[in-house]
Amino acid sequence: MEIRLWRDLLDPYDLAVRELTVKFSHLRYEHHARGIYSPIEEVTGRVKSVSSILDKMQKKNIDFDEIEQRMEDIAGIRIICQFVEDIPKVADIIRNRTDMQVIQEKDYVENMKSSGYRSFHMIIRYQVQTAAGPKTIQAEIQIRTMGMNFWSTIEHSLQYKYKHNIPQHLKEKLLRSADSIVTLDNEMSRVRDEIMDAQNSMRLQANLVAEILQNIQNLYSLANQREIAKIQDEFYEVYREGDLEKLERFHKQLDIISEGYRAQSISFDEEHI
Ligand code: 0O2
């Protein structure tokens, strides 16, 4: 196949990877904006390289005209979670979406591969709108924890280095470290609630501070400078105390003050029309 044809083949996959990455990243953003825990920690995507496609064609005896049908991972999305418990939640989110259709699932979390590889795979059908019209492609979504991702990244590099013939002593080390990742994931699950609480508080505080500062900023055109300086000093004092409840109370009070100023400015405008 010529270069031009490879580009024609891969372009819709590139579009799909970009769209899917935005969609899943946006889910994370939405959770955080609402101050709730997101089962999605990070999203990455890639289009399989031509050399990797050629390798797989050779390995699996795939003809050029069979690539799209038989190679499900030309478009690949990776969703990284903090905890093992998040993986089925992300899988459910994907199953319930109407813009993609799950056609296959492989659970290498429950059924670890003999290499030590763990991850949950979903093959989906996804439609992109290209200049030539709609096109439905297949994409592979790999869902895994940070620990599983760490292990598979290292192992993948070694597979590349040893051309899929990793020496036995290294294989054994990899298997032992895969077991350690299982232990690590389990340990993290045990303190999951505490970690989630801490992260939610951190995010809540960040959202509150952003809203308070925006409110103070808005007051600049409505209140006098001395009043604003006083409010700002009060904010720094409450912030220094590090008490989330006090910060929430301050936020509410500031809302009421801002509302008062806004009402005043509207009635002033009306009087002067
Ligand atoms: P790359 O370079 O990541 O694109 P199957 O016929 O279903 O048994 P297939 O089609 O390879 O085999 O599917 P499988 O086993 O579900 O693997 C799909 C992808 O999962 C692989 O793509 C890897 O990305 C990842 N994967 C599977 N097994 C391993 C493993 O033992 N170690 C690591 N690091 N990754 C693994 P590619 O095309 O093999 O590789």
Residues 257-267 have pLDDT tens digits of 988 887 877 76
With the most atoms of ligand 1 within 8 angstroms of its CB, the residue from 44, 78, 148, 156 to mutate is 156
**How far does residue 73's CA lie from ligand 1's centre (Å)?**
9
Check pLDDT > 60 for residue 69: yes
Q: Which residues of 210-234 are buried (b: 16+ CB within 10 A; e: fewer)?
A: eebeebbeebeebbeeeeeeebeee
* pTM given for the model: 0.86
Q: Give percent of the chain above pLDDT 90.
A: 79
Provide the CB-side half-sphere exposure for 216 (13 A, CA): 20
Check pLDDT > 90 for residue 1: no
Q: What pairs with residue 132 in β-bridges?
A: none
**How far does residue 158's CA lie from ligand 1's centre (Å)?**
14
Q: Extract the tokens encoding 26.
A: 């946006």
**How far does residue 170's CA lie from ligand 1's centre (Å)?**
19
pLDDT score at 36: 86
d(CA 37, CA 41) in angstroms, rounded, equals: 10
Q: CB within 8 A of 117, min separation 6: which ones?
A: 108, 151, 152, 155, 178
**Ligand 1 close to Cβ of residue 164 (< 6 A):** no
Condensed to tens digits (0 to 9), the pLDDT of residues 176-195 reads 999 999 999 999 999 999 99
**How far does residue 149's CA lie from ligand 1's centre (Å)?**
13
Check pLDDT > 60 for residue 273: no
Quick one: which atom of ligand 1 is closest to the CA of 155? 34
Condensed to tens digits (0 to 9), the pLDDT of residues 32-50 reads 888 889 999 999 999 999 9
Question: Per-residue confidence at 24, pLDDT binned at 50, 70, 90?
Answer: very high
Q: Extract the tokens encoding 27.
A: 């889910």
**CA-proximal residue: ligand 1, atom 28 (nearest):** 117
Choice among 140, 172, 187, 234 that is catalytic: 140
C-beta neighbour count of 100 within 10 angstroms: 18
Mean per-residue pLDDT, 201-230: 90
pLDDT score at 4: 64
Condensed to tens digits (0 to 9), the pLDDT of residues 76-117 reads 999 999 999 999 999 999 999 999 999 999 999 999 999 999
pLDDT score at 88: 98
Residue 223's φ and ψ, nearest 5 degrees, are: -105, 170
CB burial of residue 127 (10 Å; 0-12, 13-18, 19+):
middle
Lowest mean pLDDT among 103-117, 140-154, 191-205: 191-205
Question: Per-residue confidence at 269, pLDDT binned at 50, 70, 90?
Answer: low
Mean per-residue pLDDT, 211-215: 94
Mean per-residue pLDDT, 227-239: 93
Q: 42 catalytic, yes or no?
A: no
